[in-house]
Amino acid sequence: MKPILVVDDNEQIVGILSRYIRQQGWPLLTAQSGEEALALFEAADPSVILLDIMLPGIDGLEVCRRIRGISKVPILMITARDEDADRILGLDIGADDYIVKPFSPGEVMARVRAVLRRLPQQDGAEDTLVIGSLSIHLPSLSVVLDGHKLDLTRRETELLWTLASAPGRVFTRDNLLTLVWGYEHIGSYRAVDSHIKRLRQKLDVYPHDFFSISTVWGTGYKFERNLP
């Protein structure tokens, strides 16, 4: 999993976003200037960039312009001003989304998840997950198990992809609600449990001794691989 790059010279903003990103299990890089952001982008090839407009030295708009000239990496611009001129300029030079301070960290992560789903094949990113005879193609929401295509809903497919992409990791219900449903559903634990139940029922139609979705009591769920 490639890191998220947070670029902001406000230490408090960086700290808030960093804590939330780490809680969701994403690798993280931070920069406080445009020059540092460009250097980290070149060295680390991040999956998403959260980019403040007002930066010392090279500003965020110029950083966006330079990166967009060589990469399609998703860029979410962050600004303290909600002005149409800034928003239009940012989008015109290649930003994928625009976030105005003050913001909810949960909303930011929901937008990150959304922009990644809209651009699943950017920069050659892998869009098919294969584990034994289980194959998940996220863009087409296609899941094949033991040669049979499963009739899964979008949520079930995204839930399976999220769990299977990090075998052994324990996802809390809040993690899954943020990553699959979006920040506005935090606390709706029954939705997670009911979707897990239906997903297991559909998977159990065909043999899959090489993996399981385990319950971690009082916490959440994890995907366990049993391949040799």
Tens-place pLDDT, residues 16-31: 898 888 877 778 899 9
The H or E element containing residue 28 is strand 28-31
Confidence of residue 7 (pLDDT cuts 50, 70, 90): very high
Given a cut of 50, whether residue 123 has pLDDT beyond it is no
Domains annotated for the chain, with CATH where assigned, are: 4-123 (3.40.50.2300), 128-225 (1.10.10.10)
Q: Tell me the HSE value of 159 on the side-chain side, using a 13 A CA sphere.
A: 26
Res 49: pLDDT = 94
Per-residue pLDDT band for 121 (boundaries 50, 70, 90) equals very low
Give me the residue label for tokens 């931070």: 30
Report the range of poorest mean pLDDT among 55-59, 79-83, 130-134.
Answer: 79-83
- Looking at residue 82, what is its pLDDT? 60
Q: Which residues of 145-182 are buried (b: 16+ CB within 10 A; e: fewer)?
A: beeeebebeebbbbbbbbbbeeeeeebbbbbbbbbbbb
Longest dimension (CA), the chain: 59
The pair of structure tokens assigned to 216 is 């971690």
pLDDT at residue 124 greater than cutoff 50: no
Question: Does residue 47 contact residue 20 with C-beta atoms inside 8 Å?
Answer: no
pLDDT of residue 25: 73
Closest CA relative to residue 75, chosen from 162, 15, 4 = 4
Q: How confident is the model at residue 38 (pLDDT cuts 50, 70, 90)?
A: very high
Model pLDDT for residues 160-209, shown as the tens digit of each residue: 998 998 888 888 888 888 778 765 455 578 888 999 999 999 999 998 88
pLDDT for position 9: 92
pLDDT > 70 in the chain, percent: 88
